Amino acid sequence: MKTKIQVNGKALPIDSGLEMTRRRFFGGLAVATALSGAATAQAAGSRSIMENSELLAMGQRFDAAHETFRATVEQLPDKQAAYRVLAPSIPPELIVTRLYTDKWQLSESVVDEADPCCGRIKGNDGLPLLVVASYRIESRYRSGGEPVDMSEASGYHLWLYDIAKKFEAEKAAALLISGLDKVLSAYGCAETSLREAIHDLCAIRARTPAGVALKIRATAAYAALGTEERTTASQWLARAVWEDMSEEA
């Protein structure tokens, strides 16, 4: 079911990869467990070959990062629900209804603040929703690196600016009060650590089926992070299966 957000009393869809990421993550975890179990069973006939100690050490780092990321993903739904209760609706005055206007030039695409994947909110026309942003107005009245001077702003711009600043402050307050800000920060750190651990692990050659099993788990976890990651993961997995072990032969 697609995530929606309230705009002017209407539920608009969010083009979010978060729910797909959650499904892929936990689905990939199940697949990885099954595949790595099968590969580990094959290792019984390769006991004479010792696995790369560096790879095994990286495996421990991956497992720790993987568990931290999993725990963080599980915290998101409750905090997101709390945020959505507190978050303000987008003021209609800020919504861009016509392109190539002054208002359009002061706008940016709206993203779901509760989504670590930064899913874009779409309007009723199916296109990304655009709203006026205070920093875009400030850029009109900033000279070089000097502080912004809104005293020269037009009455119309000041009107939009006040509405935008209030809206943005209310969103920030909702993130803080709901506790979602801390979870999103933890998610970002956990995802970065997981990516780095998987990247470093997959760069090390596996010598045994057990080592390949470890890479299977790591690439499955990486593939769950997104569409582009799935392509990279398949390349890493193919290399582990066809190159790592063949070099030992």
Segments making up each domain of the chain, as ranges: 4-244
d(CA 150, CA 168): 18
What's the pLDDT band for 17 if we cut at 50, 70, 90?
A: low
- The two tokens of residue 100 are 């190539």
Beta strands in 93-249 (DSSP E): 107-109, 120-121, 130-132
Please write the tens of the pLDDT for every residue from 48-99. 678 889 999 999 999 999 999 999 999 999 999 999 999 999 999 999 998 8
Kindly state the average pLDDT of the residues 174-187: 97
Beta strands in the chain (DSSP E): 4-7, 10-15, 107-109, 120-121, 130-132
d(CA 116, CA 108): 18
Q: Which of 78-92, 143-157, 177-191 has the lowest mean pLDDT?
A: 143-157
d(CA 220, CA 243): 18
Query: What does the mean pLDDT of the chain come to?
Result: 84
d(CA 164, CA 93): 9
Residue 246 DSSP class = T
Nearest to 197 by CA among 212, 217, 183: 217
Please write the tens of the pLDDT for every residue from 207-231. 888 899 999 999 999 999 988 899 9
What's the pLDDT band for 237 if we cut at 50, 70, 90?
A: confident
With a CB cutoff of 8 Å and minimum separation 6, the contacts of 21 are: 73, 117, 224, 225, 226
Distance of CA 244 to the CA centre of its chain: 31
- The two tokens of residue 226 are 């997104």
Amino acid at 227: T
Residue 129: its pLDDT value, please?
A: 95
What's the pLDDT band for 20 if we cut at 50, 70, 90?
A: very low
